[in-house]
Amino acid sequence: MDASASGILDDLKKGKYAPVYFLQGEETFYIDLISNYIEVNALSEAEKSFNQVVVYGKDVQVHSLLTHARRFPMMAERQVVIIREAQDIADLQKDGRAKLLLDYILKPLLTTVLVFCYKHKTLDKRKEIGKKIEQHTVAVTFKKPYENQLPDFINQYAFEKKIKIDDGGVRVLCEYVGNDLNRLANEIDKLALGISQDKPIGAEQIMAIVGISREYNVFELQKALINKDAFLANKITNYFESNTKKNPMMPMVSFLFSFYSKLLVASTTFDKSERGLVTSLKISPYAAKDYSKALQSYSFTKLREIITLIKETDLKLKGVNVGSQSEGQLFKELVFRIIL
């Protein structure tokens, strides 16, 4: 778990609530985790009806949320005001209204717990409001985790759900879901409901539950490309082409771009050992063998060519100079040209 999130949650579990929380950044999992904990636990059920307000940024302005924040609790130790999607508050960064918010933050009502859930972006710390919020609130910016941080998250979240996932299963989740922690948590929640908890969950079980074909998936395609196995790559792309609704091409192209762009970087690094690749590329240790093997199959010049091909295919899938080719045909051509 993110260290900042863990520290905040530890304090909350001890009953230590700050007057203002400003939770921001690309990674929304921890923003939701903390705000949901406060919503559920800061007040008893009897206290919530009079002392808890949950609003959305698009529905409030600064003066109205401050009106909520300045109220005193009724027959309770504290009141809670949570602003979800706070990035949608229209006047949050307008000079006059920003000053009102700063005045409150400098002298907050100590019986109010005010929580801003500012998702997918961050305040500009060069501006006064960004600086002061950083200094005078519990302000945390949550970034998307690197790939090499995902196994720890998966194992810890699975442990909390009282299940165990073996290394193969962890790798499938890392590669299939990527660094979207909300999706990872949702997939692990499915596993906790659908699998016996008496032994570790393997890759095949996970594929069956999350709906990945064991033979025809983007991970098997990646292996075929690494090994330059044209026959297998053709079988997989034919399968994708036969059902593009179930296997949309854009995510496949994005997956290949991520893999080959990292491989291009790897080709220029000094330390090309598996450990060195994990460090330099911030990839999962489970993926390092694939990258190490792929470096033996593709030269720097070829990798630059592949990146260009992927970008061209991406544009065509978006309707630029596409001609009469279908999505499936475009993807098949891309794979064929990569493997040449």
Tally Cβ neighbours within 10 Å of residue 276: 15
Average pLDDT for 299-311: 95
**Interval 132-160: pLDDT, tens:** 999 999 999 999 998 889 999 999 999 99
Average pLDDT for 166-170: 87
Rg of the chain, C-alpha, whole Å:
24
How far CA 101 is from CA of 73, 104, 191, in Å, comes to 20, 5, 44
Average pLDDT for 201-216: 78
On whether both 191 and 239 belong to a single domain, the answer is: no
On whether both 126 and 21 belong to a single domain, the answer is: yes
Amino acid 206 reads I
On whether both 23 and 133 belong to a single domain, the answer is: yes
95-106 vs 62-69: helix crossing angle, rounded to 10: 20
User: How many Å apart are CA 245 and CA 301, to the nearest integer?
Assistant: 34
On whether both 134 and 167 belong to a single domain, the answer is: no
Where in the sequence is the domain holding 205, given as residue range(s)?
A: 147-210
Report the SS3 class of residue 322: coil
- CATH value at residue 162: 1.10.8.60
On whether both 7 and 132 belong to a single domain, the answer is: yes
- With tokens 């929304």, the residue in question is 28
- What is the pTM for the complete model shown? 0.77
Per-residue pLDDT for 292 more than 90? yes
| Total structural domains within the chain | 3
- CATH value at residue 94: 3.40.50.300
On whether both 135 and 196 belong to a single domain, the answer is: no
- With tokens 């194992």, the residue in question is 155
- CATH value at residue 224: 1.20.272.10
| Token couple for 186 | 């949702």
pLDDT band for position 62 (cuts 50, 70, 90): very high
